Amino acid sequence: MEYHTKMKIKRFFRKPVVTYAFLFIQILAFILMTLDGGSTNTATLVKYGAKFNPYILFGEWWRLITPIFLHIGFMHLLMNSVTLYYLGEQLESVFGHLRFAGIYLLSGIAGNLASFAFSDSISAGASTSLFGLFGTAIMLGQTFKNNPAIQQIAKSFGTLIIINIVFGVFSSSIDMAGHLGGLAGGFLIAHAISVPNPMKHWRKKRIIYGSLFVVIIIILALIGYLSASTAIFGL
């Protein structure tokens, strides 16, 4: 491979390529849904993988992932896409491509499990993962207290968290369980898979946070299973 080609590839991977990929997937999904009944159509949303408790109960656990990339209406897509670009551009450079992807997807799953456990509504949107990125910013602020750049990022994200939570409290259309589940999931998983540190106490800390994340995931899955079973079968 020629030197110039290698340099182009290196420059490309310095960009937030995972963020770009996630943006592409959700925009493509929105176009497909728009052409196939509309992104606000309930049947279309369910068809493309929105969170729908009865189907999750019957084994379609992949619906804990697919809602991350689906959006209900153009404004929903636009707001989440702008937020993803802004957050992703900063956080992907801090964590690296693979860790950023892991945080985004796992916090989204945590958020959708919280929604499965505490909300019967059909839901979709990247907000579960975006709140996971907010949780990641809190983790950075706590971990790198002597880094002015990180502290500035944490403060700006903290303001966004407060605004979104307040807005969610006064809006019946917002899935607060999903948002808070994503926030907690992002905070925990960011601790667990953050940049490696050779110090023993840091490794122990990562194991503790990772274990806590797994325990919460299991608890939410059990609560969701019992809640959905009661709602459907009256058990």
DSSP class of residue 120 equals -
Residue 123: strand pairing partners = 51
- Is residue 171 among the annotated active site residues? no
Which DSSP helix (H) or strand (E) runs through 73?
none
In this structure, are residues 26 and 104 in contact, taking their beta carbons and an 8 Å threshold?
no
Catalytic: which of 39, 123, 127, 129? 127
Catalytic hit among 39, 71, 107, 179: 179
Closest by CA to 188, choosing from 155, 167, 219, 162, is 219
User: For the CA atoms of 89, 93, 95, 101, what is the dihedral angle to 10 degrees?
Assistant: 50
Question: CB neighbours of 16 closer than 8 A, spacing ≥ 6?
Answer: 88, 89, 92, 93, 100
Tokens of 186: 């992002």
76 as an active site residue: the answer is: no
Give me the active site residues, please: 127, 179
